[in-house]
Structure formats: C-alpha cells, structure tokens
Amino acid sequence: MNTLTKLALGLMGQLKAQPAVGHAGATRKLPRPKLSDGMPLMEALRLRQSQRDFRPRPLPAKTLSELLWAAAGINRHELGGRTAPSAMNSQEVSVYVALPEGLYRYEPGPHNLQLVAASDVRRVTGYQDFVDTAPLDLVYVADHSAMPLVPAGQREPFAYAAAGAMAQNVYLYCASAGLGTVIRAWFDRTALSRAMGLKPDQQLLLAQTVGFTVDGGGA
C-alpha cells in the first residue's frame, strides 16, 4: 500500500493489520544462536547503512534467531545481562516481531517468540510502502512500569537510548549477514498501538525493517 493511502486511512482511523498469512503457533522456538559467526566488527561498521529495497523472501530461522539475540539477547547468563545497555539495567524495551504469520514478542530468557496477535501487522509499522512486504519489521516498545527507579521525566529519553543501542546492534548484525535494514520513526502511533494491543504503560519507540535487499543477493 502506498504512503498516501496509508496517510489517508490513518486520518480516518482505518489503517489496520491484515489477516495473517499462514499459521502462527503460540510459542515459536528459535534455534540457538551461533555466536562464533560473523565478520570483524570494523568491517561491519564500515558496511553499516540504511536500505529500503527488500525482497519478500522469508528470513531463515537461524538468521532470525541471531538477529534477535543481537538486538536484545542474554549475553551474561549469571546476571541476565543483555547485548544492549539500559538505564539501571531496567531492560524496559521489548522487541516485537511482525511477521506475515503474526505479531510476536521476543523473550530473551527462553530465547523464543510469544504470539501477541495472529495478524499481519507489518503494513501498520510504517508509512513507507516497503514495510508491507519486507519479511520482518521489528517494533521497539518501552514498558514504563519496568523503570520504577528512573525519575518519570527521564524514562522516555532513556528508553529511546536503549532502543537506539538495540537498533544499532541489528544494523551491525545485518551488515555482517548481508541483510538490509532501516530504523524508522515515521509511523502512525495510534494505529500501531491499537494493532499491537499495547497497554497504557507501553510506549512505541521505533520500528526497524529487515530483509534481503533487491541488489544484495538472496532468492
């Protein structure tokens, strides 16, 4: 759907999720991420960039697993430490995973996906048309109730900082894995909150599309 149509539907309160494509189980297991793969960090930094032309080709389960681990995975099991920092280790930002078959939330502990809505929310994650057909749109959501020790006025900027760190982890993973990605803030917050069924304490922060690029290989 093109941007103008999305803007018009948004104004009418009619920008909505699509029926799911395929079946979504309540829990989706992810393979164990392979932490010995990947290019040197400096090479990934050299290649990091935003891309906006995606093929619809689904991401392999291994890729999805490693991508989510890079974003928010547990890298220090004794402390439950994550790959991205958060203020006072609040770990208030969750990664939602919009796939054609459903909307999931990534659970770093068991490293799996929990079904949130059996619908295709991708279209609602951004005004740009490529978000509808790219295989994956991530949505970063802050839970303000998880930040009781952070002064109320600082919760929002701190959550954005944490989401930015997670998004950059995804950028670097994508650079290393030959995938395209772009972080995005241009979306209809009302429509997306509704489509995701967010609670009052939950705040939409950013979205991020991931996929094989048109000129970067893949089927």
Task: Select from 138, 183, 192, 195 the one that contacts ligand FMN (CB under 6 A).
Answer: 183
Which listed range, 56-64, 109-117, 173-181, 183-191, lies at the site for ligand FMN (CB under 6 A)?
183-191
Least CB distance to ligand FMN at residue 19 (A): 25
E-only strand ranges, 100-145: 102-107, 112-117, 119-120, 136-143
Q: Kindly state whether residue 2 participates in binding ligand FMN, applying the rule CB under 6 A.
A: no
Binding residues for ligand FMN, how many (CB under 6 A)? 9
Least CB distance to ligand FMN at residue 70 (A): 17
x/- contact string, 128-147, with ligand FMN (CB under 6 A)?
A: x-------------------
Q: Which two tokens stand for residue 102?
A: 């459903």
Phi/psi of residue 114, nearest 5 degrees: -110, 130
Q: Kindly state whether residue 192 participates in binding ligand FMN, applying the rule CB under 6 A.
A: no
- Longest CA pairwise span in the chain (Å): 50
Q: Kindly state whether residue 11 participates in binding ligand FMN, applying the rule CB under 6 A.
A: no
Q: Kindly state whether residue 185 participates in binding ligand FMN, applying the rule CB under 6 A.
A: yes
What is the torsion angle, in degrees rounded to the nearest 10, for the CA atoms of residue 51, residue 116, residue 68 and residue 93? 90
Backbone dihedral region of 20: left (phi > 0), alpha (psi from -120 to 50 degrees) or beta? beta
Q: Which is nearer to ligand FMN, 166 or 182 (CB)?
A: 182
Q: Kindly state whether residue 186 participates in binding ligand FMN, applying the rule CB under 6 A.
A: yes
Q: CA 65, 99, 3 angle in degrees (round to 5)?
A: 130
Residue position matching structure tokens 């309160």: 13
Which listed range, 15-23, 86-94, 132-140, 178-186, lies at the site for ligand FMN (CB under 6 A)?
178-186
Residue position matching structure tokens 């959501």: 141
What totals of helices (H) and strands (E) does the chain contain, helices first?
Answer: 6, 11
Q: Which is nearer to ligand FMN, 52 or 105 (CB)?
A: 52
Binding residues vs ligand FMN (CB under 6 A): 49-50, 52, 128, 182-186
